[in-house]
Amino acid sequence: MKDSSKTTFLSVAFTHFVPCFFLGVISLYIVRAFLPELELRELVDSNLDLTDILFGTVNGLIVAGTVAIFHLLRNRRARSAALLPVKPVNTKVIQYGVLVGFLGGSFDIAFGLHNGGILVLTLMVLCILIWHLRIFAHDMTAMLRPGNHATWTEVAELLRIYMNMLAGFTLINATLEVAHLLAGRTPPFGFGSVEGELFINSLYYTVVTMTTLGYGDIVPKTWDAKLLLIFQCLASYVMFALMIGIITRGVVSSREKETSLTDK
């Protein structure tokens, strides 16, 4: 697996930005559920005003707080399970993660202020997904060596990458739909023409596609959506199949793997 001993802001941003942005979108929906009088369309009316800044700041703080709580609970659980007997808590990961969480939650509104922001968001998320695919391919090459068995830590890392891909494709599908609507063109998926919210339908479509269910109730209608679907299907199908293959070969603990390597 990739060595993570060196922690930089860029490395944390690549692993945290997509899930933080995704969490920020969920936060907006939760807030609207408790405040039904709030129309999110007013926050993305292409005009940056005090309401946009305040709401973006609050949403960023919510996501940042969630990231901090997640890391603190994970470190405490790992220590109680004796998984980290001597290794100290990596405070840089928590600090950088909180900062990325704040930026991700804030950008949910900032990127939606105009068409250019949506394009930048799509390109950023696509670059992050390609970076995750590169890491996945590197890790899979090591774990598919003859006689090698993955550890639970390595399987968890693969699942983390897969969930990042799911969140990332959900955001890309949704932003592609919004970009077409803002440009006055044919919606590529028609998320708004079926029951439910645009983002929820995008999540549903992504899960159905990445798990190879393919119900067919939502299908791509434009050339760019079809190209995106091809890439999404190939990437998700290969990832899903390889993870199943790795798990069925057997999963061992870190100590068991170290023992087997020592015996060899």
pLDDT (0 to 100) of residue 215: 85
pLDDT per residue as tens digits for the range 5-36: 567 888 888 888 888 988 888 887 787 777 66
Q: By the 8 A CB rule, do 126 and 85 touch? A: no
Its sign, for the CA torsion 116, 122, 125, 128, is: negative
pLDDT (0 to 100) of residue 81: 58
Our separate counts of H helices and E strands in the chain read 8, 2
Query: Has residue 115 got a pLDDT over 60?
Result: no
Query: Has residue 103 got a pLDDT over 60?
Result: yes
Q: How far apart are CA 98 and CA 218, in angstroms?
A: 36
Q: How far apart are CA 26 and CA 29, in angstroms?
A: 5
Query: Has residue 257 got a pLDDT over 90?
Result: no
pLDDT (0 to 100) of residue 3: 46
pLDDT (0 to 100) of residue 101: 92
252 pairs with which residues across the strands?
151
* Mean pLDDT score across all residues of the chain: 79
Question: How do the domains of the chain map onto residue ranges?
Answer: 1-113, 115-253
pLDDT band for position 110 (cuts 50, 70, 90)? low
Query: Has residue 225 got a pLDDT over 60?
Result: yes
pLDDT band for position 86 (cuts 50, 70, 90)? very low
Q: How far apart are CA 157 and CA 97, in angstroms?
A: 17
pLDDT per residue as tens digits for the range 118-128: 777 778 888 88
Q: By the 8 A CB rule, do 155 and 195 touch? A: no
pLDDT band for position 67 (cuts 50, 70, 90)? very high
Helix residue spans in 45-90 (DSSP H)? 50-80
CATH architecture of 115-253: Orthogonal Bundle (1.10)
251 pairs with which residues across the strands?
150
41 vs 52, residue with greater confidence: 52
The mean pLDDT value for 219-238 works out to: 91
Query: Has residue 183 got a pLDDT over 50?
Result: yes
pLDDT (0 to 100) of residue 43: 47
